Each structure stands twice: as structure tokens, then as C-alpha cells.
């Protein structure tokens, strides 16, 4: 990533949301800032995930925004999504690519491991994601330091995503060394997610 470029916004939807609850809130958030990609969390009832996938695809594709879903290759295929986000690093990337084809997006979450990120890239990932970058008990427990992103952006061409407990200071500090910043629970827990995004991103 060139150092004079700003990262793009990668939006993670709230876990265990319902399609009926999500529609209005998602549109308001998308009106707040340009979004490059939306990720649907993979946990939950298959039928409800399918309804969310259809809803999000319709809203996002009308705005030329890509949509990926965590881990569910068949749901991505069945509901016309743009690809998958794999939560277990490099494992499964080649299988996902084989099933979804060369044009699909296949991303990989690699925790705080430079080694896993490199392995994911070698396996054919379109991007790697490191995190959490902020203070949280969620995830694998090991925070991804800023120098990991600085090294990656200098040495590796594969796009890199920072995620997990972002705050305003982290957005500012990580922006020069990331291609994407992934924001999710940071805004969805607020009464007004669109305003929360504006405060965090604007």
C-alpha cells in the first residue's frame, strides 16, 4: 500500500442479527461512509443466514459493494455472494478457491501471526486480516501489533485488513499501513450505528 493512500472501510455485520432488524440500520450505515466490502458472520441458523445473505447482497450490490460470508462456501454459492472470509488462516483456502473459482474473493483471518499471513498468501488468499488490534478478550487473545502492519505494508503486496476493537486513535495510527480497516461491533452496539461510524471514521 502506498503511504499516501487511505484505507478502505470493510464492514462486519453484527453477529446473530436478523434480516428484518438489519435492513434499515445497514442502509443508514452505508449512507455514512463509502464501504468496499461487507462481511456476514457465519454463526447462526442456516435459514436466517440465507435471508441475511439475500438482503445484504441486494443492498450491497446496488451500491457496488462486495459481500463475503464467514466460512460457508455453499451459502456463498447459493446466495450469489462474492466470496468467503475464512477464520482459520491458510487452512481451507485452496479448497475454497477450487469450489468458488478464480474470480471469487477468498480472505483469511490470521490472528497476529506473520507466518500464517504469508502462508495464506501463498495458498492464494486475496487478502489477509490480522487482529484484534485493540484491547479485547475476544479472538485468540494475542493482539496484532502495529509494527506487523507496517512490516506487511512495506514487504508484502497482498492487501491487509486490521480488525478487532478499533478506536479513533487506532484508526488514525493504522490508516497509513493498512489497505482496509474492518469495523463491526464497534458501531453495532451503539444506539445509532451510523453516528458511531461517523465518529470513528470521519
Query: What is the residue-averaged pLDDT of the chain?
Result: 94
Residue 5 has pLDDT above 90, yes or no: no
Alpha-carbon span 139 to 143, nearest angstrom? 9
Report d(CA 60, CA 66) in Å as an integer: 7
Q: Residue 3 pLDDT more than 50?
A: no
Question: What's the pLDDT score for residue 141?
Answer: 67
Is the per-residue pLDDT at 113 higher than 50? yes
Mean pLDDT of 59-87: 97
Residue among 5, 13, 4 at smallest CA distance from 35: 13
Least confident of 13-17, 93-97, 124-128, 146-150: 13-17
Q: What is the DSSP string of 83-113?
A: EEEESSTTTTHHHHHHHH-TTSEEEEE-TT-
Q: Is 40's pLDDT higher than 80?
A: yes
What pTM was estimated for this model as a whole? 0.95
Q: Is the pLDDT of residue 78 over 80?
A: yes
Q: Give the model's pLDDT for residue 123.
A: 97
Q: What is the pLDDT of residue 138?
A: 64
pLDDT above 80 for 12: yes
Structure confidence by residue, pLDDT tens digits, 122-181: 999 999 999 999 988 666 668 999 999 999 999 999 999 999 999 999 999 999 999 999
Q: What's the CA gap between 38 and 24, in Å, rounded?
A: 15
State yes or no: pLDDT of 202 exceeds 90: no
Each domain of the chain, given as residue ranges in start order, spans 8-201
Please, is 91 exposed, middle or buried when counting C-beta atoms within 10 Å of its C-beta (0-12, 13-18, 19+)?
Answer: middle
Per-residue pLDDT band at 1 (split at 50, 70, 90)? very low
d(CA 86, CA 103): 16
Phi-psi region of 50 (alpha: psi -120 to 50; beta: other; left: phi over 0): alpha
CATH of domain 8-201: 3.20.20.70
Average pLDDT over residues 71-82: 97
Q: Which residue has the higher pLDDT, 44 or 41?
A: 41
Q: Of the candidates 181, 184, 111, which has an alpha carbon nearest to the alpha carbon of residue 148?
A: 111
pLDDT above 50 for 74: yes
Average pLDDT over residues 29-57: 95
Of 166, 171, 159, 160, whose CA–CA distance to 185 is shortest? 166
Amino acid at each position: 500500500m502506498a503511504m499516501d493512500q487511505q484505507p478502505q472501510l470493510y464492514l462486519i455485520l453484527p453477529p446473530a442479527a436478523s434480516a428484518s432488524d438489519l435492513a434499515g440500520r445497514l442502509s443508514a450505515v452505508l449512507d455514512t461512509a463509502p464501504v468496499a466490502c461487507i462481511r456476514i458472520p457465519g454463526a447462526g441458523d442456516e435459514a436466517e443466514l440465507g435471508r441475511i445473505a439475500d438482503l445484504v447482497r441486494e443492498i450491497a450490490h446496488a451500491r457496488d459493494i462486495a459481500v463475503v460470508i464467514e466460512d460457508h462456501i455453499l451459502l456463498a454459492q447459493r446466495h450469489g455472494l462474492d466470496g468467503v472470509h475464512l477464520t482459520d488462516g491458510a487452512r481451507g483456502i485452496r479448497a475454497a478457491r477450487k469450489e468458488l473459482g478464480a474470480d471469487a474473493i477468498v480472505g483469511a483471518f490470521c490472528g497476529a501471526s506473520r507466518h500464517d499471513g504469508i502462508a495464506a498468501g501463498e495458498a492464494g488468499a486475496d487478502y489477509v486480516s490480522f487482529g484484534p488490534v485493540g484491547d479485547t478478550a475476544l479472538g485468540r487473545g494475542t493482539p496484532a501489533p502495529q509494527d506487523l502492519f507496517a512490516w506487511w505494508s512495506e514487504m508484502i503486496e497482498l492487501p491487509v485488513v486490521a480488525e478487532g476493537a478499533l478506536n479513533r486513535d487506532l484508526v488514525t495510527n493504522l490508516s497509513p499501513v493498512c489497505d482496509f480497516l474492518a469495523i463491526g461491533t464497534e458501531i453495532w452496539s451503539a444506539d445509532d450505528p451510523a453516528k458511531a461510524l461517523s465518529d470513528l471514521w470521519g
